[in-house]
Amino acid sequence: MRDPYYVQEDDNLDDMAAVLKPALGFTDEDLKRLSPEAKTLFSARRRLGIDWLDRYEVVVTVTKSPGGCRCGIREGQKIVFDMRHKVKPDLSDAPLCVHLMAPVLSIFYMTFDRAAEGLNPLTCIWRFIECPMTGANHGADKALAEVTLRRVDTHEPVTKRMLAEDFA
């Protein structure tokens, strides 16, 4: 019996092959050769639905910017990412500061793993980030931000822990 939360060694994602093969240009052999890590990434769709990446976006909202940011980041500005880690410039109003965006990457690292288990891709632990640029004043002026997951269609924040319940 296949554990629905963890990809097993002999799991070739057969139940998802009809969608994955044309989307990725894969053959049956390509699916069999995928690493366990890649299979786990794709298996997230098994729990949250094939289009889960298109239903959510990550929003970084600046909560504090004491004024020392050389990129011009100000309180209330935001950077919006799709779930494929791309900035959505039409929904973002903050300058694209690589220093403030860098901590978001580590948050994205865990999103697929959590989604594969049917969980909200953002953990309740990593809801806040800060610019890693400390400067001469040891970080007193660096920007702080809150990270949230929201629905693409309504822009409502998603705070529910178990997203898989919506797709069971």
Mean pLDDT by 10 residues, the chain (168 residues): 62 82 87 82 70 87 86 94 93 93 86 74 79 81 90 89 62
What contacts 24, CB < 8 A, 6 or more positions away? 30
Q: List the alpha helices (DSSP H) in 97-156.
A: 98-116
Q: What is the pTM of this model?
A: 0.76
Task: Say what the pLDDT of residue 87 is.
Answer: 96
Structure token pair of residue 139: 């970080």
Please count the other Cβ atoms lying within 10 Å of the Cβ belonging to residue 166: 13
| Residue type at position 100 | L
| Cα separation, 98 vs 104, whole angstroms | 10
